[in-house]
Amino acid sequence: MATNGKPGGGRHGAVKDRSQVYNPENDRWTKRDSDTGRFMDQKADGKPFKGVTKEK
């Protein structure tokens, strides 16, 4: 018999091929594509992205 899955039906586990780095100059987290190294997106609220690996 089929199941409905988890409530919300969102992502399970980490986001692949993405990483994030903190920029202390503007106090924001920036998401980056691991394959090309290009910056993709920036968070406006100062909190890190959910499920995205943090760089050191």
Please give the pLDDT value at position 12: 76
SS3 8: coil
Q: What is the pLDDT of residues 7-51, one digit of tens each?
A: 776 777 889 999 999 999 999 999 999 999 999 999 999 999 999
Per domain, the residue ranges of the chain are 18-54
Among candidates 50, 32, 29, 48, which has minimal Cα distance to 40?
32
Please give the pLDDT value at position 56: 83
pTM here is: 0.75
